[in-house]
Amino acid sequence: MHDTAPTHPPRVGFVSLGCPKALTDSEAILTRLAAEGYDTSKTFDGADLVIVNTCGFIDDAVRESLDAIGEALAENGRVIVTGCLGARAGADGGNLVRQVHPKVLAVTGPHATEEVMDAVHRHAPKPHHPFIDLVPAAGIKLTPRHYAYLKISEGCNHRCTFCIIPSMRGDLVSRRVGDVLAEARLLFESGVKELLVVSQDTSAYGVDVKYRTGFFDGRPVRTRMLELCESLGALAAPHGAWVRLHYVYPYPHVDELLPLMASGRVLPYLDVPFQHSHPEVLRRMKRPASGERNLERLHAWRAACPELVVRSTFIAGFPGETESEFEHLLDFIREAQIDRAGCFAYSPVDGAAANALPDPVSAELREERRARVMAVAEQVSAQRLQRRVGATMQVLVDQASALGRRGGVGRTYADAPEIDGTVRLLPPEKASKTLKVGEFTRARIVQADGHDLIGLPI
């Protein structure tokens, strides 16, 4: 019988914008496309249609996403839009993307793999023969093979006044603990050496299901951050892999994680988006855990686990921020010894409650304060990095050519990929020593240089 399969499977161009959470959505869609036999590419050339996964968090991201859609329409003409921007309303209350780009084929919000696939099927029908065996066990990842993001929940129960994520993504929905652990095991088995746990609020994992008991491998496991981290640590151990936690709020129950960090089962690294330190500003921001004594909590964490590295982000120039409230933030960064910090000048986001707050800070002053935060943060960070000089540290190699004979680039436990610093690895002195991407090496730190370290592999 004649084979009716097309000579070439349909090709889907893919543009992925936005945060790590959007990236995991992209991975889910790409995995499904590959499972169904579609060809995917990062270019529009010869694509039957293009999917643009957008971000709608701040105005710059909105502009970037709308431009990417415009470009895809101009170059290809057949475009499906997904992601946070797809859920936003425009000036007339209708869909913003459709308003600006009426020619798009379909628009969905975030984590809408099924709807995106429906639209793909409508506009570029499924190939006759699905090539299911071609899909790697752990799906398609956009990150290098040796690290991967693990999303444990969607949405958020908080209502921070500067943020519109809950209105786009809804309330917290925790993934089933058994599913999360099964995905983690597959990732480790497929060679992942660093697992980055992400969500909008990792410390809130399981709140929505009242920490119900789930099952993994026939064993009961509670849907709760501590139990999840214990199990992830146990799954990572035989592979010598790292587990890194992002977006953890300073709630009292986070104290329970510190023994896990001190014993090395999860990395002694916490990404805590404090955003500010002054209680009044935190109250106006409606931040989670704003009533907690953050400085005392941090000191207690460091006492329980002296290796702890804390990364945080801050907002300078939030509406109503006085000079003394701002200086409180600078003192906090110094006293809390924040290892790695990022800072945004407050930027009003369409639809955010904070826009209605009195006494906005001028754009100029916001920018000036952002620069002052970064100056203090960099000073603290540089001092803390300096203390590493002379130490021998484990480094995960991200780049190395010619087996590392010309050196390479890696990271220690103190550096998350893409947001923190790196370790520049010198060519090893011993001829027998090689460096391979995705493997660990020990390195003696010989110098600190800005945000980065320089190390000699040993």
Helix, strand, coil percentages in the chain from 3-state DSSP, rounded to 5: 35, 20, 40
Nearer to ligand SF4, 288 or 407 (CB): 288
Distance CA 409, CA 455 (A): 9
Establish if 160 lies at the interface with ligand SF4 (CB under 6 A): yes
Cβ 343 to ligand SF4, closest distance in Å? 15
Phi-psi region of 111 (alpha: psi -120 to 50; beta: other; left: phi over 0): left
Q: Which stretch binds ligand SF4 (CB under 6 A): 39-47, 108-116, 156-164, 317-325?
A: 156-164
Q: Is 84 in the site for ligand SF4 (CB under 6 A)?
A: no
- Give least dist CB 293 to ligand SF4, A: 19
154 binds ligand SF4 (CB under 6 A): no
CB of 156 to ligand SF4, least distance (A): 3
Q: Does 410 bind ligand SF4 (CB under 6 A)?
A: no
CB of 159 to ligand SF4, least distance (A): 6
**Between 194 and 201, whose beta carbon lies closer to ligand SF4?**
201
Q: Which of 201, 227, 271, 398 forms a contact with ligand SF4 (CB under 6 A)?
A: 201
* Stretch of residues binding ligand SF4 (CB under 6 A), selected from 48-56, 161-169, 299-307, 437-445: 161-169
Nearest residue (CB) to ligand SF4, 11 versus 175? 175
Phi, psi of 219 (to 5 degrees): -100, 140
Nearer to ligand SF4, 127 or 166 (CB): 166
| Surface-to-core class of residue 165, CB atoms within 10 Å of its CB (0-12 exposed, 13-18 middle, 19+ buried) | buried
Minimal CA–CA distance to 443: which of 435, 265, 334, 206?
435
Task: Give the number of residues in contact with ligand SF4, rule: CB under 6 A.
Answer: 10
List 33, 51, 163, 393, residue binding ligand SF4 (CB under 6 A): 163
Decide if 57 contacts 87 (C-beta within 8 A): no
Angle between helical axes of 363-386 and 323-336 (0-180°, round to 10): 10
Q: In terms of DSSP H, where are the helices of 251-407?
A: 258-262, 279-285, 294-304, 323-336, 363-386
Distance of alpha carbon 220 from alpha carbon 385, whole angstroms: 41
Nearer to ligand SF4, 203 or 231 (CB): 203
Stretch touching ligand SF4 by CB under 6 A, among 20-28, 162-170, 289-297, 363-371: 162-170
Nearer to ligand SF4, 209 or 354 (CB): 354
Task: Identify which of residues 62 and 163 has a Cβ nearer to ligand SF4 in the complex.
Answer: 163
Least Å distance, CB 199 to ligand SF4, is 9
Nearer to ligand SF4, 242 or 249 (CB): 249
What is the smallest separation between the CB atom of 19 and ligand SF4, expressed in angstroms? 10
Angle, nearest 10°, between helix axes 323-336 and 294-304? 10
Contacts of 252 (CB under 8 A, 6+ apart): 292, 297
Q: Looking at 91-99, 153-161, 174-182, 374-382, which segment touches ligand SF4 (CB under 6 A)?
A: 153-161
CB proximity list for 83: less than 8 A, separation 6 or greater: 17, 18, 22, 25, 52, 53, 54, 55, 56, 65, 109, 110
166 binds ligand SF4 (CB under 6 A): yes
> Whose Cβ is closer to ligand SF4: residue 160's or residue 192's?
160
**Interaction between residue 56 and ligand SF4 (CB under 6 A):** no
Closest CA to 261 of 290, 232, 283, 294: 232
Q: Which is nearer to ligand SF4, 53 or 200 (CB)?
A: 200
CA distance linking residue 299 with residue 317, whole number of Å: 26
Rounded least distance, CB 28 to ligand SF4, Å:
20
Identity of residue 401: S
3-state SS, 228-264, equals: HHHHHHHHHHHHCCEEEECCCCCCHHHHHHHHHHHCC
Q: Is 165 in the site for ligand SF4 (CB under 6 A)?
A: yes
d(CA 246, CA 270): 6
Q: Which is nearer to ligand SF4, 161 or 399 (CB)?
A: 161
Nearer to ligand SF4, 201 or 398 (CB): 201
- From candidates 158, 193, 276, 366, binder to ligand SF4 by CB under 6 A: 158
Residue type, 353: A
- Is residue 255 within 8 Å of residue 225, measured between CB atoms? no
Q: Give residues 9-48 in contact with ligand SF4 (rule: CB under 6 A).
A: none
Indicate which single residue of 16, 53, 200, 441 sits in contact with ligand SF4 (rule: CB under 6 A): 200
Instruction: Tell me the C-alpha distance between 442 and 34, whole Å.
Output: 37
Shortest reach from residue 64's CB to ligand SF4, in Å: 20
H or E segment at 66? helix 59-75
Beta bridge partners of 398: none
Binding to ligand SF4, residues 282-311 (CB under 6 A):
288
Contacting residues toward ligand SF4, per CB under 6 A: 156, 158-160, 163, 165-166, 200-201, 288
